[in-house]
Amino acid sequence: MKIGIFDSGKGGEFVAIKFREMFPEHEFLVVNDREHMPYGDRETEEICELTDTAIQPLLREAKIIIIACNTATTAAIEFLREKYPSHKFIGFEPAVKPAARNSRTGSIMILATPATLNSAKHLALKNNFAKNVNVLEPEITATWAEKIENDAFREEDLTAVVELARQHNVDEIVLGCTHYLAVEQALREKLPAVEIVESVTAVGRMLEKYLREK
């Protein structure tokens, strides 16, 4: 089966690599919108319009479409589900719930774009699942997606986040942007005692459920 993946930029390719390993019997088609990337500082209405335009090739080829962009998920996925009821849309959102649940120190960090962090969906996640933990959301990561997209990210860009995590005894770091999968291994190496939480596995379980229903 053909399955679509959309991201504003390289994040979709990072996700596709993981899904092709998890579901080798299926074909994953990836589209992006690098012309308008990053999405993280755009308004909701504009993100909806850009996402809708970008996924048109996928709508013709695939009945299941993964919105690999956390920002596009928070801003546009309900709009897309309403507009295209014959398609299944699976979104990415920061894994706040498992990070808060599994934290031993009571201090977690969420790395995401401003649009994701300020969205009603994300605020609801924190309110529902992270009331009893200290949640850090460093603003410095706002530039990460663009830097990763343009191959301009450097190891020193991690320094402030690593130092902040150590200062606040963080033991769970949530990757709330699929671009940040590019620095997952580097974070693991610099913070070996910290759990780095990404959403690919959870989205994979949802995809598996949809595939069984076909």
What is the set of active-site residues?
69, 177
Mapping DSSP onto H, E and C, the string for the chain reads CEEEEEECCCHHHHHHHHHHHHCCCCEEEEEECHHHCCCCCCCHHHHHHHHHHHCHHHHHHCCEEEECCHHHHHHHHHHHHHHCCCCEEEECCCCHHHHHHHCCCCEEEEECCHHHHCCHHHHHHHHHHCCCCEEECCHHHHHHHHHHHCCCCCHHHHHHHHHHHHHCCCCEEEECCHHHHHHHHHHHHHCCCCEEECCHHHHHHHHHHHHHHC
Residues 6+ apart with CB under 8 A from 38: 8, 9, 113, 145, 146, 149
